[in-house]
Structure 1
Amino acid sequence: MTIRDRFKLAAIQAAAVPFDLGASTEKACRLIGEAGAAGATIAAFGETWLPGYPFFCNAATTPLTWQAMAEYLANAVEIPGPTTDKLCEAAEHARLDVVIGVVERDASSGGTVYCTLLFIGKDGRILGRHRKLKPTFNERAVWGDGDAVGLRTYERSYGRISGLNCWEHNMMLPGYVLAAQGTQIHVAAWPGREPAAAPPPTVPLWPRQLLLSRAFASQASCYVIAAGGMRLHSDTPERFEELSTIEYTGGSYIIDPRGEIIAGPAEGETILLAEGSLQAVRAAKALTDIGGHYSRPDIFRLIVDRSPRQRVLDRATGHDEADPRGTW
């Protein structure tokens, strides 16, 4: 095994600054720098880390909810834009790849946001983005449905990387698409583990952060950076305290291609690190490559439509007015 076959994985577990895009971006850039200084090859943040998970969607709907949703929309990120420029600069300066959850605002309508994973290369360029295909339960009141434009792996010098958001790992088919593309290092982005004392067993949406992350690692024979976000009641702006019904306490892990935990759980604000190797990935895939020799394409085939969703088509030009900048 050569030095090139080795890499260092990092899960950045920290709280953003809710409803403050500028302060959250500044903190993200600082943490990227710290991960780079620790020797990380790739660093991952949790779901919609920038500028934070929409915790208010789990509270009763009141006029305060609409105020929170309006501020959330105002603090969303456009790709590309000034915020992504800063993240790209930080990644380039730190010399590592970054996968970060962002609240992405639709640049055309300006009124819709997506739960997006943004992939940035160590050269400071945007590799791509993946919008969560189906927001879960109350999230549907905040985020729009995503597309398959970014449902792909990215070839890096140390391996192929991919990512999904939270309960997309419960959908099965998106994960198979990435496994079939040979993912070797996967980011599972979560809002963060919730306290063990929270909802009763009758609540069906209790996150399965560790369970689904380990299952994905085993099924896809890849490393998984299960990056959990953080947001405590104390992190919530005073004006929105009554909407803070659930806390997110991190619980990040790093998992090997056999589904075994090699780092974590992380507690508090920290950068969780673990060493990885392509040798371990290859050994696992030699046993079960579900997109290759461990598949049955004569029986099962999956069709993916990666075309961008066209809302308005100008018949005079043939251009899609819903996404004038094209796709990644």
Structure 2
Amino acid sequence: MSEHFILAAIQAAPIYLDRQASVEKAICLIAEAGRKGASLAAFGETWIPGYAFFAFAESSAARWDAAQLYLDQAMTIPGPEADALCDAAKSADVDVVIGVVELESRTRGTVYCTNLVIGREGRILGCHRKLKPTMEERIAWGEGRGDDLTVWERSYARISTLACWEHQMVLPGYALMAQGTQVHVANWPGGEPATVPASPEALWSRQELLSRAFASQGACYVISVGGIITPDLVPEQFRSLAYSSGAGSLIIDPRGEIVARAPRGEETILTFEADPSVIRAAKTACDSAGHYSRPDIFELRVHGVPVTSLVPVRGEGRCNTKDR
């Protein structure tokens, strides 16, 4: 870590409930971020094929239709869409973190809120599934697991990612700080839905608050990026289910100060030139898992063993099902 590098928050709307069209738009935006010289470009939560807006609506035939289309338009990883995104990252020479709706390949009946991490070499570095969907999101997404709380070593910095209210959970963030994250992507759907009884300004403040807290506690840069949603952006038959939420993406320095802010609700690529010396200076004051920790008092254990509901029993000619 010696050279300055550019961070990019891609604040834009996907093509809702259209996987292929969203991928094509993402490819164009990745290329644009590359032209801006970005080392790392980040998209909002479940950007492909869009946030599960329908989960917050009352039960109806339209909501059931939207839910099944959401499943149909989810991505498999690996898969052709992931390959196309890898090619785009390689062509643009930029690392990419993008939120996707990931289809469970075994059952094909569950999707996850997944952050897909792609290297500029054109390969998948890893994925992180959101550990706990928030409130009504549990109607749409399954729960993630602990084996993908990962920090990736890149030439310019160590990078990590969490989605939305995982920053409210506290412990996932510490698991990444303990691995020495230096640049963190915090992605959001674009604010929380209007059905929550608070003003849009207050809701946005929570996103800003949690992102700034992570930057300060982790002594790392944070790209806090959200998408955009309005009823006119979703397919016509589902507009009665949608709400309006425009992101106001941020880039935050390792002391928790906002150094770049995107206009709310406008499609843009927000960039900032990051300085590695600022990361090092902040960590000298607070290295949360190093000199600013007390391992003699506190210990965090992360259980990262994948589990399954179907376990073959050898030699008995049958299968056991287990609720895990």
Regarding TM over 0.5, the answer is yes
User: Normalising by structure 2, what TM-score?
Assistant: 0.93
Give per-residue Cα distances to partners, 1:265-299, cap 9 Å, x unaligned.
Answer: 33400000001021111100110011111000000
Could you tell me how far apart the structure 2 residues matched to 1:225 and 1:22 are?
Answer: 26
Could you tell me how far apart the structure 2 residues matched to 1:199 and 1:64 are?
Answer: 21
Q: What are structure 1's unaligned runs of at least 5 residues?
A: 322-328
From 44, 47, 51, the counterpart of 1:46:
44
- 1:172-183 alignment, distance < 5 Å: 172-183=170-181
Could you tell me how far apart the structure 2 residues matched to 1:132 and 1:294 are?
Answer: 27
Give per-residue Cα distances to partners, 1:41-65, cap 9 Å, x unaligned.
Answer: 0000000001100001111111111
- 1:29-44 alignment, distance < 5 Å: 29-44=27-42
Could you tell me how far apart the structure 2 residues matched to 1:315 and 1:121 are?
Answer: 39
Aligned residue number for residue 184 of structure 2: 186
Aligned residue number for residue 100 of structure 1: 98
Aligned residue number for residue 146 of structure 1: 144
- Flag the 1:49–1:60 CA change in 2: closer, same or farther, 3 A: same
Give per-residue Cα distances to partners, 1:204-263, cap 9 Å, x unaligned.
Answer: x9462111000000000000000111111210111101111x212011000000000010
CA contact 2:99–2:116 (8 Å) conserved in 1: yes
Aligned residue number for residue 58 of structure 2: 60
Could you tell me how far apart the structure 1 residues matched to 2:77 and 2:199 are?
Answer: 39
> Aligned partner of 1:35: which letter?
A
- Flag the 1:265–1:194 CA change in 2: closer, same or farther, 3 A: farther
Could you tell me how far apart the structure 1 residues matched to 2:131 and 2:184 are?
Answer: 17
CA contact 2:149–2:176 (8 Å) conserved in 1: yes
Aligned residue number for residue 157 of structure 2: 159
Could you tell me how far apart the structure 2 residues matched to 1:147 and 1:248 are?
Answer: 29
Q: Secondary structure at the match of 2:148?
A: coil
Give per-residue Cα distances to partners, 1:82-107, cap 9 Å, x unaligned.
Answer: 11000000000000100000000000
Aligned residue number for residue 23 of structure 2: 25
Could you tell me how far apart the structure 1 residues matched to 2:198 and 2:123 are?
Answer: 44
Task: Tell me the CA shift for residue 194 of structure 1.
Answer: 5.3
> Aligned partner of 1:11: which letter?
A
- Flag the 1:199–1:111 CA change in 2: closer, same or farther, 3 A: closer
Please say if 1:255 is aligned against 2:247. no
CA contact 2:2–2:276 (8 Å) conserved in 1: no
User: Normalising by structure 1, what TM-score?
Assistant: 0.92
Aligned residue number for residue 325 of structure 1: none
Task: Tell me the CA shift for residue 311 of structure 1.
Answer: 2.2
Aligned residue number for residue 264 of structure 1: 261
Identical-residue share of aligned pairs (%)? 55
Task: Tell me the CA shift for residue 314 of structure 1.
Answer: 2.9
Could you tell me how far apart the structure 1 residues matched to 2:149 and 2:48 are?
Answer: 20
CA contact 1:266–1:272 (8 Å) conserved in 2: no
Could you tell me how far apart the structure 2 residues matched to 1:58 and 1:104 are?
Answer: 20
CA contact 2:11–2:228 (8 Å) conserved in 1: yes
Could you tell me how far apart the structure 2 residues matched to 1:100 and 1:202 are?
Answer: 28
Q: What are structure 2's unaligned runs of at least 5 residues?
A: 320-324
Give per-residue Cα distances to partners, 1:103-147, cap 9 Å, x unaligned.
Answer: 000001000000000000000110000000000000000100101
Q: Secondary structure at the match of 1:92?
A: helix
Q: Secondary structure at the match of 2:312?
A: coil
Q: Secondary structure at the match of 1:314?
A: strand
Could you tell me how far apart the structure 2 residues matched to 1:200 and 1:146 are?
Answer: 28
Could you tell me how far apart the structure 1 residues matched to 2:91 and 2:21 are?
Answer: 19
Runs of 4+ in 1 over 4 A off after TM superposition: none
Could you tell me how far apart the structure 2 residues matched to 1:124 and 1:52 are?
Answer: 23
- 1:110-121 alignment, distance < 5 Å: 110-121=108-119
Please say if 1:238 is aligned against 2:220. no
CA contact 1:194–1:249 (8 Å) conserved in 2: no
Could you tell me how far apart the structure 2 residues matched to 1:251 and 1:223 are?
Answer: 17
Could you tell me how far apart the structure 1 residues matched to 2:195 and 2:77 are?
Answer: 35
- Flag the 1:256–1:249 CA change in 2: closer, same or farther, 3 A: same
Q: Secondary structure at the match of 2:96?
A: strand
Could you tell me how far apart the structure 1 residues matched to 2:255 and 2:119 are?
Answer: 27
